[in-house]
Amino acid sequence: MSKAEILVSAVAVLGDHAAILPAFIEEVGAVLDQHYSNYEIVLIDNGSTDGTEKIARQMLSVHKCVRYLRLTRRTDHETAIMAGLDAVIGDYVVTLHPDFDPPAEIVPLVDGCRSGNDLVLGVDKQPCTSGPVYRALRYLFLSMYRRLIGIEFVTGATGLRCLTRQAVNALVKVRLRRRFFPLVATDLGLRTVVHCYNRMSRSGQHPKPDLFRAVRGGMSILVHNSITPLRLASSLGIFGSLLSFFYSIYVIAIYLFKSDVMPGWTTLSLLMSGLFAFVFLMLALMGEYLGRLLEESPDRPLYHVRDEQSSAILLSDLNRRNVLDRSEVPESELRGGAS
């Protein structure tokens, strides 16, 4: 079988994977060497403490086309993936988990990108089971996010994915500290398809859903990727200030049309309603300004060019070119040289 004349980069984030690392590198290297003429394996050490660094450095002298990067401190998985995307040089980039993702899935993922897609997302055919509370909260979050943000999530997506070079170049421009990969890909408008596969386990352990981490991640996604919750709070502030204003009118009407009003009630009520109206209005204004700051502060490019093409001849009139066949020297310099 002939090898494809492309460069494929495989990125894996390591975290205490010393026991399974040799087998993982050998399997990934065998798959890449069998199908592609050029490849690289990029290992991102995300603060491992079990001897992963020692094993990885030994693998550099045993296997070819392996690169090892160790981060200065442990960070979240998506940030570690970003470190790998910044370092790779491949035409197609595959990210996979060293414990759970079969290296054989690299080939169909790359084929999916070569067929015209920007991103191929791996989805587990048999996701891990979760409790009723987890499923209920997950359904509530997806429904709320769909209505507030207007984006459909790819449910069941794992860390196995393949990206084209154009997709990688677009993703590395989005420098968000809190990022959710499928959401960023949707925001960029990448052509995305789903690849279903069966996960494995080299260590014998299987990923389990964490309710606390899921809730924290869901809140982080809502806060860092949309100002809709802040706009909702601003709307409630304006509504509260209007209620306080109408209550002030009610207090004045009671004072004018009733004769048995308790002394001091009108003044106290007007003072409280006025203060609450002022506080609610200030909260609404602060929410709007914070929303504007959140829209402008992320270091995102204003646009992303998916593709660029041009004709073989850019100018029909070659006399209008701004590139000359020879350099021209000003006449004043020619006179100076002659003298």
Residue with tokens 């759970």: 100
Q: How does the average pLDDT of the chain come out, rounded?
A: 78
As for how many domains the chain has, the answer is: 2
Residue 239 lies in a domain: yes
Q: Which two tokens stand for residue 116?
A: 């015209």
Report pLDDT for 339.
45
Same domain, 219 and 234: no
Residue 89 lies in a domain: yes
Residue 322 lies in a domain: no
Which CATH number fits the domain that encloses residue 118? 3.90.550.10
Amino acid in the structure at residue 294: L
Highest mean pLDDT among 23-37, 207-221, 293-307: 23-37
Domain region containing 208 = 4-224
Same domain, 247 and 192: no
Q: How far apart are CA 322 and CA 233, in angstroms?
A: 56
| Residue where a domain terminates, one of 296, 317, 333 | 296
Q: Of the candidates 49, 98, 45, 88, which has an alpha carbon nearest to the alpha carbon of residue 70?
A: 45
Same domain, 156 and 111: yes
Same domain, 111 and 256: no
* Least confident window among 115-129, 210-224, 298-312: 298-312
Mean pLDDT value of segment 215-243:
74
Q: Residues 72-95: pLDDT tens digits?
A: 888 888 888 888 888 899 999 999
Mean pLDDT value of segment 124-128:
78
Q: How far apart are CA 132 and CA 114, in angstroms?
A: 40
Q: How far apart are CA 232 and CA 238, in angstroms?
A: 10
Residue 104 lies in a domain: yes
- Exposure string (b/e) for 162-199, b if CB count within 10 Å is 16 or more? bbbbbbbebbeebebeebbbbbbbbebebebbebebeb
Q: Residues 260-276: pLDDT tens digits?
A: 878 888 888 888 888 88
Same domain, 89 and 214: yes
| Residue where a domain terminates, one of 296, 318, 334 | 296
Mean pLDDT value of segment 323-337:
51
Q: Of the candidates 44, 48, 95, which has an alpha carbon nearest to the alpha carbon of residue 70?
A: 44
